[in-house]
Amino acid sequence: MADVKGGPNPLFLREEELRQAMELLFFAYRDFTGEPDQILADYGFGRAHHRVIYFVGRNPGITVSELLAILRITKQSLSRVLGQLVRDGFITQRPGLRDRRQRLLELTDKGRELENKLTEQQRIRIARAYRTAGAEAVEGFRTVLTNIIDEADRGRFERPEAPGKQGAKAAPPKSAARR
Amino acid sequence: MADVKGGPNPLFLREEELRQAMELLFFAYRDFTGEPDQILADYGFGRAHHRVIYFVGRNPGITVSELLAILRITKQSLSRVLGQLVRDGFITQRPGLRDRRQRLLELTDKGRELENKLTEQQRIRIARAYRTAGAEAVEGFRTVLTNIIDEADRGRFERPEAPGKQGAKAAPPKSAARR
DNA sequence: CTTTTACGTCAGCCATGTTGACATATCTAC
DNA sequence: GTAGATATGTCAACATGGCTGACGTAAAAG
């Protein structure tokens, strides 16, 4: 951690730096996801339910395939938790207008309530970290994390002020406007 | 991010900003952990094995309880994967010197080899993101992530140049020097 | 000497991922 | 309008990796 500017072993420093990043990700994700679990347990749900509720809440009218692409799980796995959430009245399905094979997903009021309860602690945690770290650090946080993400999904996080390659994507992905 | 100092709807922007952070974490972690899995499958292992191998490699001589505290799982869960790794010759155990009830864990050569294979892609991914984002962004990334982590574990990531509260912790946690 | 600690183990349960096969409704193209 | 592709669902079986609870042993600590 001393030995900046071409010390005796820059490769070791690089390695150490990379490993610290990996651990930061591990610990941050561990703690970030750790809190909502008790609430979920009260409902007989797990993290998978949380993820589904979250992304349906964020993308009202999302299709099943879009959700699958985000979560990167099989339809059978999704079907299990999604089925429960629909049966228990947290999510509604309705056929697509243009394509009636699709099941457009949306949170019910009950679903929105649970979503809010679940993410509240996470929002507080992030807000605290953002406040403590300051705007400049937040900018760096976003930049690095975006670059860690597979290129295919970076579009979700494009900033309008980005100079250079600003394609034509301002809207989220494809969903959201299919109601 | 626009709309500082009381724009039309600062609360909405804040909410949006926080949700983007949550999603950045989700996608980054999804892609960061996604790659090593094929390699693990070749060995008949899963992600749990990877985590154990990683943290034992990082903290040679770590005790079982320390590992449990990092992973935040039960000893029964750890025992399953750790047992396999020891039996298969990736990790060795030896009794502690001061306290012979402890089993100090260490990677074997075989273990180190696998560790390297597993984290290689992850190191490449982080290195690419760091290079693209630049030193300043990296600094912000570290600052924000550290603040997302539970206070109890932030010590692992303390920087020597940090002004203000620099306690007396320079060495990692407690392990590492117990051989 | 008793209690606490560090670790292990057996047994069973649950959540959540997987593969493979098959069914149905609907859209698209020829 | 029929054939094939697509969106979704479902059944069955299996693996991983969490969990709880109970019990055991060796060593440290009082």
Whole-number percent of chain B with pLDDT over 90? 74
- Distances in Å between the Cα of B52 and the Cα atoms of A107, B59, B62, B78 are 38, 11, 11, 8
For the stretch A91-107, pLDDT in tens is: 999 999 999 999 999 99
Is residue B117 in some structural domain?
yes
For residue range A30-46, list pLDDT tens digits in order. Answer: 999 999 988 998 899 99
Please determine, for residue A177, whether its predicted confidence score (pLDDT) is greater than 60. Answer: no
Q: Is residue B161 scored above 80 in pLDDT?
A: no
Best B3, B5, B24 member to test A by mutation, with max A CBs in 10 Å, is: B24
| Model pLDDT, residue A169 | 38
Look at residue B42 in the predicted model and tell me its pLDDT.
Answer: 87
Q: Which residues pair with A72 in a beta bridge?
A: none
Would residue B88 count as lying in a domain?
Answer: yes
CB pair distance less than 8 Å for A129 and B142: no
Let me know if residue A164 belongs to a domain.
no
Protein-strand D interface by C-beta, 7 A: A 63-65, 75-76, 79, 82-83, 93, 96, 99, 101-103; B 44-49, 51, 71-74, 76-78, 80-81, 98-101
Contact criterion met (CB below 8 Å) for B140 and B123:
no
What mean pLDDT comes out for the span B150-164?
78
- For residue A15, the chain B residues in CB contact (below 8 A) are 123
Question: Which of B5, B14, B29 is most worth mutating to test chain A (most A CB atoms within 10 A of its CB)?
Answer: B29
**Residue A4 covered by a domain:** no
Domain count of chain B? 1
Using N-to-C axis directions, what is the helix angle for A75-87 and A64-71, rounded to 10°? 120
Q: Do A17 and B130 touch (CB under 8 A)?
A: yes
Q: Which residue is nearest to nucleotide C24 (CA to C1')?
A: A101
**CB of A68 within 8 Å of any CB in chain B?**
no
| Token digits of residue B112 | 């180190």
Chain B neighbors of A139, CB-CB under 8 A: 137, 140
Asked if residue A97 belongs to a domain, the reply is yes
A55, A102, A112, B162, B176 from A179: Cα distances, Å: 16, 11, 18, 51, 57
Could you tell me if residue B120 is inside a domain? yes
Residue A90 counted as domain residue:
yes
Residue A157 included in any domain: no
Q: For the residues B123-139, what does the mean pLDDT come to?
A: 95
Statement: residue B99 has pLDDT above 90: yes
| A82: closest CA of chain B, how far (Å) | 19
Q: Which of B23, B25, B156 faces A29 most closely, judged by CB atoms? A: B25
Q: What's the average model confidence in pLDDT over B92-116?
A: 96
Residue A122: which H helix or E strand, with range? helix A109-133
pLDDT > 90 fraction of chain A, expressed in percent and rounded: 75
Cross-strand pairs, A103: A95
Domain that holds residue B125: 10-151
Q: What is the CATH number of the domain that holds B94?
A: 1.10.10.10
Pairing between strand A91-95 and A103-107?
antiparallel
A176 touches chain B (CB under 8 A): no
**Residue B60 CA to its chain's centroid (Å):** 15
Window 80-119 of B, Cβ < 8 Å to A: 119
Residue A4 has pLDDT above 80, yes or no: no
Task: Determine how β-strand B91-95 pairs with β-strand B103-107.
Answer: antiparallel
Residue pLDDT, tens place only, B85-96: 999 999 999 999
CB nearest A145 (choices: B18, B24, B127):
B24
Interface membership of B140 toward A (CB under 8 Å): yes
ipTM > 0.90 for the complex? no
For residues A33 and A166, the model is more confident at A33
Can you give the three-state secondary structure of A137-169, one letter per residue? HHHHHHHHHHHHCCHHHHHHHCCCCCCCCCCCC
